[in-house]
Structures are given as C-alpha cells and as structure tokens.
Amino acid sequence: MAFNFGAPSGTSGSAAATAAPTGGFGGFGTTSTTAGSAFSFSAPANTGTTGLFTQNKGFGFGTGFGTTTGTSTGLGTGLGTGLGFGGFNTQQQQQQSTLGGLFSQPTQAPAQSNQLINTASALSAPTLLGDERDAILAKWNQLQAFWGAGKGYFNNNIPPVEFTQENPFCRFKAVGYSCMPNNKDEDGLVVLVFIKKETDIRSQQQQLVESLHKVLGGNQTLTVNVEGIKTLPDDQTEVVIYVVERSPNGTSRRVPATTLYAHFEQVSIKTQLQQLGVTLSMTRTELSPAQIKQLLQNPPAGVDPIIWEQAKVDNPDSEKLIPVPMVGFRELLRRLKVQDQMTKQHQTRLDIISEDISELQKNQTTTMAKIAQYKRKLMDLSHRTLQVLIKQEIQRKSGYAIQADEEQLRVQLDTIQCELNAPTQFKGRLNELMSQIRMQNHFGAVKTEERYYIDADLLREIKQHLKQQQEGLSHLISIIKDDLEDIKLVEHGLNETIHIRGGVFS
C-alpha cells in the first residue's frame, strides 16, 4: 500500500548503530588485545567517518568536530616496538588536509536532479492511477513529505520516493546554537560516551583506565588520564580522556586528539570499546577558520538557505556559538534533555556555592569576633607592659639625678598638659562636646507626644462598638441594682421574722 505510516528510515545515528554491552564494562582487566599491532600510529586507518560537514548527514554536531583521520606518516619511528606515537624531535610530521572526507562534497548532480524531479512529480502530479484519485495521492504524498516519513508513489514504472526528515519539505525543523570547542589538537582530548551512570563510572574509574590502557596495547610508555566526567541524559556518561606518552629521555607529551581518535575508530579497537560500553567516540578540538567558513556557507541537507542565513544573522555570539539544525521531535527532545541536565548541574553548583558562602560568612563572623578579642587583649597587655617598664625604669633610675634628656621630656609633657588644659584648646572642646551629649541625652529622655490619625469609617465603627458596650454595661448595672433591692427586701423580712420570734419566746 502507498499509505505507509511507518517510522522514517533516515533516523539512524552513530549511537544507535552500536550494540549495547551485555553488562558491566565488558570485563575490566580481561580485554583481549594484540600488543604487537593494535596500537601502531604509524599508519592509522582512514575510516572516512562523516560528521557535521557532509551533505547527507549534517546533523550530528558533536560527532563531526575535528574528526580528521589523516595524520602524520612517520609517527611509529624511533621507539622500536611499533606501539609509540613517534620519537621526540626525531620525526617530520606531515599533516594531511583531507579531513577524512568531511568537506568533500560528492558530485551527484544527475542523481540529485532525478531525485528532485521524482519528488516534484510525487507531490504535484502523480500518474499512478490515471484518474481523480491521483490528486488525493498527491495530497497524501505532500502530507508525508511535510511529516518526513513514508514513501511517495507517483508512477508504476519508477520506484517510490523515500521521504525522510532531511527532505526540503519537512516542516519539523529549527535551528539552534551550540558552543564551539576551544581545545587544541595538541591537548589530545577525546570524548567517550558510555551507557553507564555517572556513579558507576566513578566507582570503577581505575578499572576503566586500566581497560583503556589495555585497549591501547598495554604499552608502558603510555598513560591514560581522565580529564572529566559528566552526566548525560538517558543514563549515559561522557568521559573525557587524554593519553600521555613518555620518552626514554624522561620528557613527555600528549598524544594528539586526531591520532588517538583514528586509533579508536579502527574496527578491532572499536569492538573492544563497545565491549566496555562505549557508544560514541569523538575528538574535542576547535574548528579551523576554513572549516567554520565552509560550514556557514553550505546549509545542511534539508535546511532552507534563507533560514540558515537568518540563523547566522541571529547568532548571539558568533565567536563562541555556531548554528546547528534540529530536525524532528527526537532531536528536539534530546536537546531539551541536555538543557534540563545542564540546568540541574548549574543549580547543584549554585547550591554548593551558596553553602560555601554561608560557611565563609560564619567563619568571617567568628574571625572578626576573635580579632576584636585579640585587639582588646593586645591593648591590655600593652598597658601592663608599659606599667612594668615604668616601674622598672623608676627602680633603675632611683638615686640618680635627673638627666638632660629626661628634663627635656618633662618640659615637653608640661607643655602638652598646658595645651590640654587651655580653655580654648582641647579641654574646652571636650567640655563643649560633653555638654552637647548631655543635652541630647536629656532631650532623648523626654518623650514627645505621639498623635495618631484614624480613618473616619473606622472611627465610626469604634464609636458604635463602644456604644453597644456602654448599653450592655448599663443593662448589667440595672440588673445588679434590682438584685440588690431584692436582697435588701429578703434581709428586711428575715430581720422582722427574727424579732417576732424573739418576742414570742420571751
């Protein structure tokens, strides 16, 4: 049938193409490697991995950066075992500029023309049935093209057109922005994505390093180091590594990222990495100006050039960000998960910073209190020391006549004392300040009368309430008076009864 509701066939990715590991890290410490030929970087295989800059699959931003596999040709000389990255200052590197076919656009003009003609026929004028049903089929083909899934039948003698999300008519497209890496190739940073949680990776980090060292051939001159570990959505973890090569003379250097990535992309090595749980490997190197220029000049497959140009204009920071196409809901969901994950990490970091700031504030308060206490203690000790020195000097000078320098000091002290006692000098000013302070204290002790202003409606309600309270008190007072009169009558009756009984008995 022509009305196929199946999933689009063009949704395969590099992560999905690899088989999931059976469990653990595929046996840490038991990975079988061939040390003699597995880790020779003298002639790395050119895998031709396509990435962001290819025409057909242009939407894997992370997998295409710097994935060049053409490397120097004399890297294996100088160590004798065939496992090294090359001697130090004993080789002449010739960096190839093929970039693994990333920028080589295949010339398929006739095939593309036929594809466009067939697509146009399927969307506008199919001749499959030869009646009015072809118009309905054309609308159905248009719907499939807009959705980016299905097959478009238009002629009995020509195969149907496969509609994927990369076709120009797919409506579920957008352009976002991603940060460009700023690491050099000499930094040697390579990213490995594991289908493992971050806690599992951290708990088995040493075993992971040992397994990767065995994958590299177990050469003792090579050391695997972990640069960073980061959580990814869907229980995945990103591990950034680099390899350090030590020479016999004691110097060391990092293995270039492209060289290490080319080794990981070999079929046998890639199989061993998959056994460890690796689903994706890529370099983390910055793009050259030529790569950035070619990327921006050539819109990805299925993206309207007008939209691409507008995305370049709307780039908030062209020095750090680069436009990236988002095709389909799956890509949008992936970016949403990554954004949520980064938001959680930022919030966690902010919480840690907030706790650190609170702890620092507590320490600062404690430190300030200790400083004030130590200042008071220092002042007290200074006074005590001065008193001891005075007594000691008096005892030492007892029995001696006053010397010239002491007489000079006495004159200076008398002069200072006279200046302090002068009415217009410091003593008069101090007395004036003391008088002002006493007056302010006296005025502050006298409380000024405070006046309040009440709203008219609120004042009316208060009056009504007080009136009701007054009426209640008046009613209560009248009841009490009546009760008192009744009590007096009762007392009067009791007194008369007592007098009558007394007269009878008498």
pLDDT single digits (tens) 70-84:
333 333 333 333 333
Q: Are 191 and 281 in contact (CB under 8 A)?
A: yes
**What is the spatial distance between Cα 333 and Cα 337, in angstroms, rounded to a whole number?**
6
HEC profile of 29-73: CCCCCCCCCCCCCCCCCCCCCCCCCCCCCCCCHHHHCCCCCCCCC
Residue 148 has which token pair? Answer: 């980016």
114-123, 200-209, 382-391: segment of lowest average pLDDT: 114-123
- Give the tokens for residue 59: 């939407």
Give the CA angle between residues 58, 226, 231 to the nearest 5°: 55
279, burial (CB in 10 Å: exposed 0-12, middle 13-18, buried 19+): buried
- pLDDT at site 92: 34
Most confident range (mean pLDDT) of 38-42, 252-256, 349-353 is: 349-353
Q: Report whether pLDDT(104) > 60.
A: no
Q: Greatest CA separation found in the chain?
A: 153
Percent of the chain clearing pLDDT 70 (strictly above): 75
Pick the residue with more confidence: 62 or 225?
225
Residue 478 pLDDT greater than 60, yes or no: yes
Q: What is the pLDDT of residues 248-277, one digit of tens each?
A: 888 889 999 999 999 999 998 989 898 889
Q: Which of 269, 98, 78, 93 is nearest to 190 (CA)?
A: 269
386-428 pLDDT per residue, tens: 999 989 988 888 888 888 888 898 899 888 888 777 777 777 7
Phi/psi region, residue 450 (left: phi>0; alpha: psi -120 to 50; beta: rest), is: beta
Mean per-residue pLDDT, 133-149? 89
* pLDDT > 80? residue 305: yes
Is pLDDT above 70 for 448? Answer: no
Q: Could you tell me the pTM of the whole model?
A: 0.49
pLDDT of residue 112: 63
Handedness of CA 470, 474, 475, 477 (dihedral sign): positive
Q: How far apart are CA 444 and CA 431, in angstroms?
A: 20
Angle formed at CA 451 by CA 456 and CA 467, multiple of 5 degrees: 45
